[in-house]
A and B are shown apart, each in its own frame.
Chain A
């Protein structure tokens, strides 16, 4: 009886195979072909079934094989071990010195017994507890990070010479100047939509002209700053995380620390301060663009000329709406910058963690921006602005 591995159709000496022969009580298994890692598939299982099915002593003859490697030797050794544990000897016989050496070298290694933790009785409860404690821990950590940033910031204000100008300008360009086109286009479209929809709806009450009021309040108070912050969060907080995370996994941040330099001052401060300067400017541009888009839509739908729009806007606009929108922008800038840098510094040495944290920082910064915006809305209505 014989068996050969199915990896090749025609039986050839290149393939691992074996034949068995009963000699009295002893089963003699003669191996032929190449017992190497690429040909073991199938034949290994067949050999195991055959050998374990036989009760009695076994002999495995290796002299007819053409090649053996550590994987082949290992699978024979494992089989011998299993048979030995069953109390039946299995002899691996070969004249070749190389094969003998290989058989000695390729011993199975036992996995070290893990100290198994006692399974929890309420796994759901345990997971919930873990989630809560880790969330609190992360929150506390982020707060501490923010505190550290604030002290660094104050320190930099007091010693402006320590401010690194080149990275600051670089990041202002990256996060500010290069974001202008996309922010301008998006808010222009949003302004158009708000004004157009407003005009359509208000026309039903004959209050079409109030579309300008609607546009003013929506854009100045909420839309301009919110859309801009979300775009910037998506663009900049992800790039902060990726840049700083790559530096961490490359041990560049460790190198900085070893020189006694503070990554907070070198890496985080320029980024956050750049955002702090550019985000309000972006919001201003966004407001103007949204109003322009609104004017276009109103001109189109209500046939109100541009000059008439400006007149109308001038008479109804309240400066407080503009300030409410602008005041929020530095807070959003800090959230976006801090979250992006914090996640970046959190990276471990693996490239995968950087990718994971990048996603996380975008989601978290957008989430926090919207939550803070809601809190501002409540605050401003409460104090009556």
Chain B
């Protein structure tokens, strides 16, 4: 089982350690010498302007995009040098929500959620279905969505199904790409609460890319700012507010940033 290699806390409780990551597409350098630590049990927000490479960074962490340079260590496993079997164990212990859901269009919602269970466990079909229905309920979807196909869902619903699928194996690490984009404010707040509950009860580590300031204020323990091809700062929001870098100032002190901060009584 995955646990034997994975459960041991790595030094300083760092779950994901990126060092010197460089990503290039042709002549377009997206990341250069980027370092980032994701600590065990934290909810880390990843922010940055459009096209600064947040999605690419997530894809690099999960190995969909091979970095030109640098090392990635997840749960103490170096993803470049480890054996295929060890890497498979690590892969089974994260859940990923892609920016647009990435559901399998030929499977119903329920089958989409059950898919990892079917592939990686041998539990009975009845329990499998119960688990899938519970996750569907957890992400706030009605049970009558279960037999529908992804093509028949709204964008927000697809995102929730994607999250349910990411959660179904009860991962250690949850990587979310703009989970609340496209959700109504009530749904987005419920989503935030859900992530928080999961973190608190399961000890989940969450890394979420988000443009949603309310989300950042509500649930993120730390926020990493991606700009100038690297992680410019990783800190709690109050400390980031004192960071003199212009983009950060604009981000948090702009009209939207102010509104969100006002709502939370921070600045």
Interface on A for B, CB 8 Å cutoff?
A: 7-8, 14-15, 34, 36-42, 44-45, 67, 69-71, 74-75, 78, 98, 101-102, 105-112, 249, 348-353
Is B143 within 8 A of A112, CB to CB?
A: yes
> Which residue, of A14, A39, A109, has the highest number of chain B Cβ atoms within 10 A?
A109
Is B3 within 8 A of A34, CB to CB?
A: yes
| Contacts A38-B2, A40-B121; A108 near B133 (Cβ below 8 A) | yes
Shortest distance in angstroms between A19's beta carbon and chain B's nearest beta carbon?
20
Which residues of B in the span 133-160 have a Cβ within 8 Å of any Cβ on A? 133-138, 142-144, 146, 149-152
Q: Which of A8, A70, A249 contacts B170 (CB 8 A)?
A: A70
Q: Which of B106, B120, B131, B149 contacts A38 (CB 8 A)?
A: B120
User: In this complex, what residue of A is CB-closest to B142?
Assistant: A112
Cα(A110)–Cα(B122), bound, Å: 22
Is B137 within 8 A of A41, CB to CB?
A: no
| Contacts A74-B131, A349-B105; A111 near B121 (Cβ below 8 A) | no
Is B1 within 8 A of A41, CB to CB?
A: no
Is A109 within 8 A of B134, CB to CB?
A: yes
Shortest distance in angstroms between B18's beta carbon and chain A's nearest beta carbon?
27
In the complex, what residues of B have CB within 8 A of residue A353's CB? Answer: 151
A98-B201, A101-B201, A108-B133 known; 17 new pairs, CB 8 Å cut-off, are: A37-B131, A39-B1, A41-B121, A41-B124, A44-B124, A70-B170, A71-B131, A78-B127, A78-B130, A107-B134, A109-B137, A112-B143, A349-B150, A349-B151, A350-B151, A351-B105, A351-B106
Is A70 within 8 A of B202, CB to CB?
A: yes
Is B134 within 8 A of A38, CB to CB?
A: no
In the complex, what residues of A have CB within 8 A of residue B68's CB? Answer: none
In the complex, what residues of A have CB within 8 A of residue B149's CB? Answer: 350
User: In this complex, what residue of A is CB-closest to B129?
Assistant: A111
In the complex, what residues of B have CB within 8 A of residue A75's CB? Answer: 127, 130
User: In this complex, what residue of A is CB-closest to B126?
Assistant: A78
Interface on B for A, CB 8 Å cutoff?
A: 1-4, 92, 105-106, 117, 120-124, 127, 130-131, 133-138, 142-144, 146, 149-152, 167-170, 197, 200-203
Report how many A-B pairs have Cβ atoms within 8 Å.
Answer: 106
Is A350 within 8 A of B106, CB to CB?
A: yes
In the complex, what residues of A have CB within 8 A of residue B106's CB? Answer: 350-352
| Contacts A7-B122, A351-B105; A102 near B201 (Cβ below 8 A) | yes
User: In this complex, what residue of A is CB-closest to B92?
Assistant: A38
**Pairs across A and B, CB under 8 Å, 16 listed:** A38-B1, A38-B121, A38-B169, A44-B123, A70-B131, A70-B134, A70-B167, A75-B130, A101-B201, A105-B138, A111-B146, A349-B105, A349-B151, A350-B106, A350-B151, A353-B151
Is A101 within 8 A of B200, CB to CB?
A: yes
Cα(A36)–Cα(B6), bound, Å: 14
Cα(A108)–Cα(B136), bound, Å: 11
Is A69 within 8 A of B170, CB to CB?
A: yes
| Contacts A44-B123, A102-B202, A350-B151; A74 near B130 (Cβ below 8 A) | yes
Is A8 within 8 A of B201, CB to CB?
A: no
Cα(A370)–Cα(B34), bound, Å: 63
User: In this complex, what residue of B is CB-closest to A111?
Assistant: B143
